[in-house]
Amino acid sequence: MKALLFAITLVILQACTDNGAEYCATPESVGAQLLSSFNKNSTEVAAIETELAKTKENIKNFYLELKPSEYGYSAYLWHKDSFLPENCKTTGNPGGLNRKYIIENGILIKPLWWQ
């Protein structure tokens, strides 16, 4: 698990350094779309939205990358603040709101908070 989080951090860091030129990650560069733009009939998206509602977080503040995995789906949830210019070249989880969910049969198994 720590290796995966380290790999994600390295990808973000590499995305923020392009031959010494300043480069900031964007939703497009990480393959994410606004959570609110996903199909509301998706059990995976509904599970994420329910979880965010429990913690009183606004779904309009999040981007989602949903990938099939050995467990069902891996959902990478990016907070919009991660893409702000002041967070350019920031490693880890600026703001502490990015996370990954493992989803099996439409049920969130657990969140994995990025470091």
Task: Identify the pLDDT of residue 23.
Answer: 67
The pLDDT of 19-30, averaged and rounded, is: 74
Side chain identity at residue 81, one-letter code: D
Domain limits, the chain: 2-113
Q: Are 37 and 62 in contact (CB under 8 A)?
A: no
**Mean pLDDT over all residues of the chain?**
81
Side chain identity at residue 38, one-letter code: F
CA angle, corner 5, sides to 2 and 8, nearest 5?
150
Task: Identify the pLDDT of residue 70.
Answer: 86
pTM for this structure?
0.76
